[in-house]
Amino acid sequence: MVEAVQNAGVVVTGAGGGIGAALARRFAAEGARVVVNDLDAGKAEAVAGEIGGIAVPGDASATVAEARDALGGTIDVYCANAGLASGGSEAAGEEVWARAWDVNVMAHVRAAEELLPAWLERGSGRFVSTVSAAGLLTMIGAAPYSVTKHGAYAFAEWLSLTYRHRGIKVHAICPQGVRTDMLAGAGSAGDLVLQPTAIEPESVADALFKGMAEDRFLILPHPEVAGYYQARAAHPDRWLTNMNHIQRTWEETR
């Protein structure tokens, strides 16, 4: 159990299903007061009704003020979970790149901008960023997703190194495949790379709570990602050659 979660005011964006819903359920089960945010109002209300939470539907970029009011004026934990799995290459189109950047990175920046003044004043606050192993490694067939998830990871890392001495705790969750609608929509690339080791959303929530209890920044629901990340740093050309092999395999099966 993470004692700081008891009666805490928690916001989870993109919580109408998948990882977000699993996080919302787990926080509620641990005694937190949970705001469930999702673009789909019906899904947000369904999950909120199930866990005794509060539904605040709408764009994750503009949910902090309303969520704070719903929680009585204080947000203790903010889970920046909403994300966009944009596939494609450099030619995906500027509107695709812009939307991926807005949802996967700038929504986190905007939330932090609103949350940090109060957190820094009181000397505590917890920011949870659902990134992806793609933010540490990369994902074939999905340039906008890979690049913006690298950005999400970099921003979480920056928050942690900048404010940890002032009581701000930051966690970056970086799973590989998770059995959600996002994975189902990943197409043949997801089938090749992610499906074989895919886990349930509840396993991601378990990994987060274990990481919070151990006060760890980097949360790896797939432990093998640590080895891949080390190999990428130690032998980048070898790693790129191996990834290119996966790319060619994918191209041959399309």
Catalytic residue numbers, as ranges: 145
What span, in angstroms and rounded, lies between the C-alpha atoms of 59 and 106?
A: 12
User: 79: closest CA among 234, 189, 237, 201?
Assistant: 201
What span, in angstroms and rounded, lies between the C-alpha atoms of 244 and 241?
A: 5
Q: Scanning the structure block, which residue is given the tokens 């992806």? A: 132
Q: Strand, helix or coil at 178? A: strand
User: 193: closest CA among 82, 63, 102, 87?
Assistant: 87
Q: Scanning the structure block, which residue is given the tokens 């074989």? A: 196
What span, in angstroms and rounded, lies between the C-alpha atoms of 237 and 170?
A: 31
Residue 58 is which amino acid? G
User: 124: closest CA among 67, 157, 175, 168?
Assistant: 168
Q: Scanning the structure block, which residue is given the tokens 């942690």? A: 160
Q: Scanning the structure block, which residue is given the tokens 């994975």? A: 183
What span, in angstroms and rounded, lies between the C-alpha atoms of 31 and 155?
A: 29
Helix/strand/coil percent split, the chain, to 5: 60, 15, 30
What span, in angstroms and rounded, lies between the C-alpha atoms of 252 and 42?
A: 41
